[in-house]
Structure 1
Amino acid sequence: MTGGKAGRPVLLSGGNPQIPKGYGDAPVQAWIAAAPGWKGEVARRLDALIGRTVPGVRKGVKWNTPMYGVEEGTWFMSFHAFDRYLKLAFFRGSALDPLPPVGSKHKDVRYFHIHEDDTIDEAGLADWIGQASRLPGERM
C-alpha cells in the first residue's frame, strides 16, 4: 500500500492518499499527512472540527477514506480527495437541515464539496456534523 518515494503513501487519482485500512486516529492522521498541499490543510481543519463537535468520535480509514462514527462499526461521515475538491459525505445527509447541496445515487447520502479557495463556514459544517452524529450510523 505504501511504496511512493521514501516510503510515502502512493497518491491515487485526484491526489487521494492510499492508506491501509485501519481504525483509530493514527490511520486518519497518516491520510491527512499524505494529502497533498491545500487538501491536507483542509483535512486537518476538518478532522479538528469533527473532534471538537463530536467528543470521543471514532475514526478509521476504509477504502482510502477517513471515516467518522459514534458507535463501533458504524459511520456518519467521511471525506475523500478529488482533483479539484474534497468531498464530504454525510451518510444520512438527506435527514440534515439544511440539506447538503450535492445529491447522490444513494437516497440517504448527501455531499458537500470544498475547493481550494473556498471560505469554509465552520459553524455551518459543525451544525451538519453534529446533526449527522446523532443519526443512526451506516454499517460498512
Structure 2
Amino acid sequence: MAGNKEVVLLSGGNPQIAKGDGDRPVQEYIAAMPGWKSAAGKKLDALIVATVPEVEKAVRWNSPFYGVPGQGWFLCFHCFNKYIKITWFRGRQLDPVPPVGSKDPDARYFHIHEDEAIDEELLVSWIRQAAAIPGWISHAKDKAK
C-alpha cells in the first residue's frame, strides 16, 4: 500500500495510484492490484526488466508505463474485472501482431486472464520488439526525456 494509506480500487479493480516516475509508483500499483493480478503484475514487471534492463517506469492514468529513455513508452497495463490488459503502443509493428485490436490503428492489446497459461517466450519477444521501436510520447515532459 502506498505510504500506509489504503489504495482506492477504481472501476474493474484498477488501483488508483498517483502519477509518478520511477520504480516506486509502479511497485505500489502492482502491490495494490487485487487478488491473482498482483502476482501476474510482478511477473510481467520482472519479464520487462529482464528483457529491457534500461527500462524507464512511470505511473500515468492509473497504469504502469514502460519505456526506453529517449524513445517513448512501449507498453502499459491496466486492471479490469476479469483480466489485465497489456497495451502495446506500436503493436501493429510486432510479429506476430498481438490479438486484440484498438481504436488507435497502431495499438494492440493482449489480455492476461486468471489460470490461463501465458506464452512467456512470445511475451518476451513482444517486449524485445516493442522496446526496439520508437514508442509513444504522451506530452511535452515525456518528449524531453
Q: Deviations 1:11-66 (Å, cap 9, x if unpaired)? A: 00111000000000000000000011101110000000000000110000000000
* 2:103 counterpart of 1:105: yes
Q: When the two structures are superposed, what TM-score results if normalisation uses the length of structure 1?
A: 0.94
* 2:46 counterpart of 1:44: no
**Residues 71 and 137 in structure 1, CA contact (< 8 A), matched pair in contact too:** no
Choose which of 38, 58, 61 in structure 2 pairs with 1:60.
Answer: 58
Choose which of 29, 32, 40 in structure 2 pairs with 1:31.
Answer: 29
Structure 2: unaligned runs, 5 residues or longer:
139-145
Q: Deviations 1:62-106 (Å, cap 9, x if unpaired)? A: 000000000247200000000000000000000000000000000
The residue matched to 2:84 in structure 1 has which SS? strand
Structure 1: unaligned runs, 5 residues or longer:
none
**Residues 21 and 64 in structure 1, CA contact (< 8 A), matched pair in contact too:** yes
CA distance in 1, matches of 2:123, 2:95: 11
CA distance in 2, matches of 1:12, 1:73: 30
**Residues 58 and 72 in structure 1, CA contact (< 8 A), matched pair in contact too:** no
* 2:131 counterpart of 1:119: no
Between the two proteins, the alignment pairs up a number of residues equal to: 136
C-alpha displacement at 1:137, in angstroms? 1.1
* 2:114 counterpart of 1:128: no
Q: When the two structures are superposed, what TM-score results if normalisation uses the length of structure 2?
A: 0.91
Percent identity of paired positions between Structure 1 and Structure 2? 58
The 3 A distance-change label for structure 1 pair 103 and 116 is same
**Residues 53 and 130 in structure 1, CA contact (< 8 A), matched pair in contact too:** yes
| 1:79 aligned partner | 77
C-alpha displacement at 1:7, in angstroms? 1.8
CA distance in 1, matches of 2:89, 2:59: 15
Choose which of 99, 112, 137 in structure 2 pairs with 1:139.
Answer: 137
Instruction: Compare 28-37 and 68-77 and name the one that shifted more.
Output: 68-77
